[in-house]
A = this chain, B = another copy of it.
Amino acid sequence: PKVITLPGDGIGPEVTAAAVEVLREVAPDVTIEERPIGGLAYEAHGEPFPQVTQDALKEADAVLLGTVGGAHDSPWNKLERRLRPESGLLALRKALGCYANLRPVRVQPGLEHLSPLKPQLARGVDILIVRELLGGVYFDGDRKIDGDTAYNTMRYTTAEVERVAKVAFWAAEQRRGRVTSVDKANVLEVSELWRRDVQALRDREYRSIHLNHEYVDSVAMLIVADPSRYDVIVTENLFGDILSDLAAVIPGSLGLMPSASLGDGAGLFEPIHGSAPDIAGKGIANPAAAIMSVGMLLRHGLKRSDAANHVDRAVALALREHPTRDLGGTADTRTFTRAVLESLG
């Protein structure tokens, strides 16, 4: 099988290099090829998702992404929208047809103290957020700034709702069998369609799943006040962007959060943290989330769950024995990665 890596900007190349070492160790038969994305791709090729990258994806079985984007004051942010690093990311998701973004939020036993929440609230939290990734207000439709007025259109179709809801129901079947669908149906027509279609799919094909519907404002509260009430959360693109980042603070470090984006073709696997330009190139970035993304790549992309489990266990061990600075420890990128490799080898 073939994996394309897209290291990207900031700390992306460092954490991706660490992740690739781990991938080579557990799956030596995999062919790995690297391509540019984001700001550095713009510098080299004049666009953030260049043809050379697009072509390579056609043969990929899975894609491992680093991080994309510059500092707050980067000149990249002043480019016209379609040339900015983030547009490369959106185009990549679209090219791969990745409509379902999976973000597990798990508080590792023994690491409760890292959470901003009281330990008794953080303990045992195990949520999977499934975010729709191609539609809603992110879609390419009617959008513009016209002098003193700007608008975007939030849109969903039944087909878009059903395909991502299926992923959520399927995931819940492997977990605790509960799905919370999040919307703002008391205000938005789009949410009314969302709620109707998710419920109809459940009633038609997933009767064993316990489904409930909650408003996005209420979920934003409850995910902090009582996170243990959630198993699988499924929601549209913008709500998912906000809620998945919010939930990601519960374990206490973004450095612990991998993600998988699944859809029509090859899946896309990436840490959820940003490009952290302030620490880029210093060799101190925490590669745990990138390595955990390799775990998700093995499980969902290459269907090798044994190898995935090995990686997950090795990361958990390394986190306990060689925590990085963001976790209050002293390990740098190299030390942490070596610890993972040793416990794998």
Q: Which residues of A contact B (CB under 8 A)?
A: 77, 81, 84, 86, 90, 116-118, 121, 137-138, 142-145, 148-159, 184, 186-190, 192-194, 216-218, 220-221, 224-225, 238-239, 241-243, 245-246, 248-249, 254
Question: In the complex, are the beta carbons of B116 and A238 less than 8 A apart?
Answer: no
Show 12 A/B contacts (Cβ-Cβ < 8 Å), sorted by A.
Answer: A77-B186, A86-B187, A117-B117, A117-B224, A149-B156, A151-B190, A152-B188, A217-B242, A217-B246, A220-B245, A221-B248, A221-B249
Which 6 pairs between the two chains have the least Cβ-Cβ distance?
Answer: A150-B193, A220-B246, A148-B158, A217-B245, A151-B155, A150-B190
* Chain B residues within an 8 Å CB radius of A90: 187
Known: A116-B117, A116-B118, A117-B118. A192 touches B245 (CB 8 A): no
Report the bound CA distance from A300 to B156 in whole Å.
41
Question: In the complex, are the beta carbons of A153 and B150 less than 8 A apart?
Answer: no
Task: Beyond A116-B121, A151-B189, A220-B245, list 18 extra A-B contacts (CB 8 Å).
Answer: A86-B186, A116-B224, A117-B224, A118-B118, A137-B137, A138-B187, A143-B189, A149-B155, A149-B158, A150-B157, A150-B190, A150-B192, A150-B193, A152-B153, A152-B154, A224-B224, A224-B246, A242-B242
Task: Considering the complex, give the chain B residue whose CB is closest to the CB of A185.
Answer: B77
